[in-house]
Amino acid sequence: MNKEYLKEVQKWAKTELEACISFWLENGMDNINGGVYTCLDRTGRIYSTDKSVWMQGRCAWTFARLCNQYGNRSEWLNASRSCIDFMEKYCINREAGGRLYFTVTANGKPIRQRRYYFSEAFYIIANMEYYGATGDNTYLERARKYYDFLYELNNGKIKDPTGLEPKTIPETRKGRALADPMIFLNTTAIMRKYDGENRNKYDSYAAECADNIIKYHFKPDLSCTLETVAPSGDAMLDISSGRVVNPGHDIECSWFLAEQAEYTNDVKLFENATKIYEYALAGGWDNEFGGLLSFIDCKGFPPEAYEHDMKLWWPHNEMMIASLMFYKKTGIQEYLDQFEKARQYCIKHFCDSEYGEWFGYLRREGLPTLPASKGSTFKGPFHVPRCLMAIDLMITEILSELSQP
């Protein structure tokens, strides 16, 4: 029975993927300045021409990844290259040690610099995935250079050349953020996939990231994984920011860790990855209206973030990836049931059969915020297509295993 069901799901994923990619190719690509616009309304109209640097990197990765999974197509390679070229030409603050901006204008004038290092991470994966699709060493060397730079920044081995101060006054409060080792772990996995020459370094850094996540942020005694902890890893339960749980982040983190566990054949790490996922689902799933809440407080206090009870697209993408990955590894039906629960929620609330692509932002009861949008500074062609590509690939692998005698 699972075979026919899986084939049906795979067909759905391919159809949604095609609609999503077509939406961005037709509406988002800037054929004048290069790069991609991501502030698009439901129909694909651009409502802001400012460009997200995160999305330039993520879009470039997505289109290169399509090539690496399905074979090179000129429209995909051209879209990926357009975003990479735009970043290279306009998005690097060369007067601040090569840090990347956060937002720029349509024609590349800088608007905002942030202290966070995620623009650099997405620049790295864009260049590395494009190298995987083309074999052009220019992109490999860029990715290698910025990967080492990001490692030093992420671990405080060099001062931030922008001169931006920490978010809090360090004499009063310091902390560890889950996003730092989590995003670097995923970045490392992509580097390792295409750069076997430096595999030992990537193996070491990936292990370091996984250890930091489990050692500092994973809290079985609280049945959660905390976004922010003290430098020692102690929970800061007397302040709101110390009790924040982001279910989507935790679920995304769980499958990053599961990939690392499979690569290293680490049974204990895989077990912890499933616990991180299960804690996030238990605390984050809205039993009244369905869907994943954006933020919860690990002690049940009112979350500080005003958008805490909204339903965003990407946590549901991560839930589908993680649950199917855990089903593929264990064969436990409950994971497949959870995958289907997430998929049905997405079909009912996020998917848009009329215009293609998915709504990004829903109110708690599951209706799109109005006017509805398909993209923003933070939403572009990344989480949805990454999820659908992963579903397609994993189902192919599961069906292959089921067909073996």
Residue 269's identity, in one-letter code, is L
- Considering the domain architecture, whether residues 146 and 200 belong to the same structural domain is answered as no
Gap between the Cα atoms of 120 and 130, Å rounded = 15
**Domain membership flag for residue 326:** no
Contact at 8 Å (CB) between 380 and 42? no
Could you give the angle at the alpha carbon of 303 between the alpha carbons of 301 and 308, nearest 5°?
Answer: 140
Half-sphere exposure of residue 302: CA atoms within 13 angstroms, side-chain side: 3
Could you read off the pLDDT of 117-167 as tens digits, one per residue? 999 999 999 999 999 999 999 999 999 999 999 999 999 899 999 999 888
Per-residue pLDDT tens over the stretch 305-355? 999 999 999 999 999 999 999 999 999 999 999 999 999 999 999 999 999
φ, ψ of residue 352 to 5 degrees: the values are -130, 95
Residue 361 and residue 295 share a domain: no
pLDDT at 167: 83
Closest CA to 122 of 196, 36, 227: 36
Same domain, 192 and 224: yes
The Cα–Cα gap between 340 and 6 comes to 10
In a domain, 343, yes or no: no
Q: How confident is the model at residue 2 (pLDDT cuts 50, 70, 90)?
A: confident
Distant-in-sequence, close-in-space partners of 133: CB < 8 Å, separation ≥ 6 = 64, 67, 68, 72, 77, 80
Mean pLDDT (whole number) for 42-67: 98
Residue 70, domain member (yes or no): yes
Does 10 fall in a domain? yes
Band (1; pLDDT cuts 50, 70, 90):
low
Same domain? 45 vs 102: yes
Distance CA 188, CA 195 (A): 10
- 374 and 299 part of one domain: no
Residues 190 and 292 in one domain: yes
Place of tokens 């790295």: 124
- Domains held by the chain: number: 2
Task: Please give the pLDDT value at position 405.
Answer: 73
Reference 250, options 323, 346, 303, 318; nearest CA is 318
pLDDT band at 379 (very low <50, low <70, confident <90, very high): very high
Contact 29, 82 (CB under 8 A): yes
Q: From CA 147, how far away is CA 170, in angstroms rounded?
A: 26
Average pLDDT rounded to a whole number, residues 366-376? 97
Predicted confidence at residue 374, as pLDDT, reads: 98
Domain extent at residue 240: 177-309
Rounded to 5 degrees, φ, ψ at 285 are: -75, 130
> What b/e readout covers 313-352, taking b as 16+ CB neighbours within 10 angstroms?
bbbbbbbbbbbbbbbbbeeeeebbebbebbbebbeebbbb
State the pLDDT at residue 403.
Answer: 84
What is the pLDDT confidence band of residue 402, given thresholds at 50, 70 and 90? confident
pLDDT tier at 263 (50, 70, 90 boundaries)? very high
Evaluate whether 102 touches 115 at the Cβ level (below 8 Å): no
CB-based contact 310:363 (threshold 8 Å)? yes
Confidence check: pLDDT of 207 > 60:
yes
For residue 401, the domain's CATH number is 1.50.10.10
Q: In what order do the strands lie in the sheet with 103-104?
A: 51-52, 103-104, 110-112
Are 125 and 50 in a shared domain?
Answer: yes
Q: pLDDT class for 233, splitting at 50, 70, 90? A: very high
Residue pair 80/63 in contact (Cβ under 8 Å)? The answer is yes
pLDDT tens column, 92-111: 999 999 999 999 999 999 99
Residues 107 and 235 in one domain: no
Directed axis angle between helix 247-264 and helix 267-284, to 10°?
A: 170
Alpha carbon distances (Å) from 302 to 99, 281, 299: 36, 19, 9
Alpha carbons 64 and 80: distance in angstroms, whole number: 6
pLDDT higher than 90, residue 75 = yes
- Is residue 231 one of the residues assigned to a domain? yes
Give residue for tokens 């407080």.
Answer: 297
136, 3: one domain = yes
pLDDT of 239 > 90? The answer is yes
Residues facing 92 on adjacent strands: 100
The Cα–Cα gap between 270 and 266 comes to 6
Q: Is the domain of 36 the same as that of 134?
A: yes
**DSSP characters for 203-218?**
HHHHHHHHHHIIIIIE
Q: Is the pLDDT of residue 235 over 80?
A: yes
Given a cut of 80, is residue 227 above it in pLDDT?
yes
Whole-number Å distance between alpha carbons of 86 and 92: 10
> CB–CB of 123/60 below 8 Å?
no
- Tens digits of per-residue pLDDT, 210-222? 999 999 999 999 9
Looking at residue 352, its pLDDT comes to 97
